[in-house]
Amino acid sequence: MAEATNNPKGKKGSTLLIVLLIVLLVGLGFGAWSLLKPKSSDGGGDDEEGGSGAKGRSNKSNSSLFTGMTEDEIRELLNLNTQYQTPDDDKGTITNPWFINDPKFQEEIDKMYLLLQQSTERMDWIRAKYDIGKIMIGNNSDQNQAIKELFGKLQNMDLSGPKYYLSFPVYGTSEPNGKVYRQDLQDLLNAGWQGLNLTDLRNSNEPWWLDHIGLNLLVGTTVSNTPSTHNVWMSWAPRTELDFFKRFNGHWVSDQQLADSFVNKNNNQQAVSKTHPDARAAYCAGHMYTFAGNWVKEIDRLDKVTRWEALRKLMAPKDKNGSGMYVTFIDPNDATKNYAPDYNVDTDKEDTDPVAP
């Protein structure tokens, strides 16, 4: 009877096959875990995508406007060392002034407005002069803490000092990305406040994620992921995100109430189930919605005061770094009418007001 012989090649092949199977199983397991693992906002981790989106503004509150600058430096800052060539060489003189509502003169204002908004440094001065961002401050310490937490996650933010609001990312619509920043906020406002909540009745379009600005206004992060209703109810969502929602909106209730409390939208004193035809979440992000509205108001106010400053620069004497244009506010076709542009400036801070009655 023949003896069995050893087969080292067979053993080696079997070992290699087992190793390959183990590697394959590990790989498949890791792949499945990667696909099924909770998103960062649902699983408790604060990994966030930084570096993109809007940035904070420079705070010039500690500097008087143009103090310490030479006339040449001011001209360079405002780009007023080159005078405009007006459509009519004779217009804008003391004997033939521009009418304030003349479309061609409005084009001159438009050009100067764009010139101002195309310079970050010039806009810093304008924002400081008119306290841009001030109306965005919250009504209480909780709201202000939430606002600072939110904006503190953006780059170039200085939230110290009494006028920290000047660092808020308020951009004019003719500044770089300013128009899309405003549109992000307008989309949220257009969606309404009732869908801004942490229940199953939340807005499925997630308007609280400001894609271009790079902020999630609902939970105060810089990522679009928002905790699921289930994870809110189970208190599995990151505590920082749930507390941000509560702090910003004044809803210091249990996580279960945030996720599963509903009222009749026509009578907020009547509790209903989420299947009720008129149900809405009991705890919506109403204060956040108001904040977004104030943000848009400040963007629009910044645009208006920039046009105000554009008019001022056009009318200022040439030896004061202006364009030296003469402007009338009396309609040449009806001398009984007196006009002034509405740039939403309650009181002008200069000694001479070009549109004073």
| Tens of pLDDT, residues 168-207 | 999 999 999 999 999 999 999 999 999 999 999 999 999 9
pLDDT for 114 beyond 60 = yes
Alpha-carbon dihedral sign for residues 158, 163, 165, 167: negative
pTM score: 0.78
The pLDDT of residue 5 is above 50 = no
Distance CA 28, CA 20 (A): 12
Burial bucket for residue 275 (CB in 10 Å: 0-12, 13-18, 19+): exposed
DSSP string, 26-61: HHHHHHHHHHHSPPHHHHT------S-S--PPP--T
pLDDT at site 351: 41
Nearest to 165 by CA among 180, 151, 184: 151
Could you tell me the two tokens for 38?
């909770």
Q: Extract the tokens encoding 42.
A: 């649902």
Percent of the chain surpassing pLDDT 70: 72
> Which of these ranges, 26-40, 79-93, 176-190, 269-283, has the smallest mean pLDDT?
26-40
Q: Quick one: pLDDT at residue 320?
A: 77
Among residues 65, 58, 57, 59, the alpha carbon closest in space to that of 312 is found at 65
Mean pLDDT lowest for which of 41-50, 72-81, 138-147?
41-50
CB 116 within 8 Å of CB 309? yes
Q: pLDDT at residue 18 above 80?
A: no
Q: Is the pLDDT of residue 132 over 90?
A: yes
Contact 340, 106 (CB under 8 A): no
Res 356 pLDDT > 60: no
pLDDT score of 120: 87
Cα R_g (the chain), whole angstroms: 30
Model confidence at 352: pLDDT above 50: no
Measure the CA–CA gap between 128 and 349, rounded to whole angstroms. Answer: 12
113 — pLDDT class (breaks 50, 70, 90) = very high
Instruction: Characterise 2 by phi-psi region: left (phi > 0), alpha (psi -120 to 50), beta (else).
Output: beta
> Phi and psi at residue 76, in whole multiples of 5°?
-65, -40
Check residue 53 and give left, alpha or beta (phi > 0: left; psi -120 to 50: alpha): left
- Is the pLDDT confidence value at 265 over 50? yes
Quick one: DSSP state of residue 208? T
Q: Is the pLDDT of residue 82 over 70?
A: no
Question: Can you give the residue ranges of every domain in the chain?
Answer: 194-284
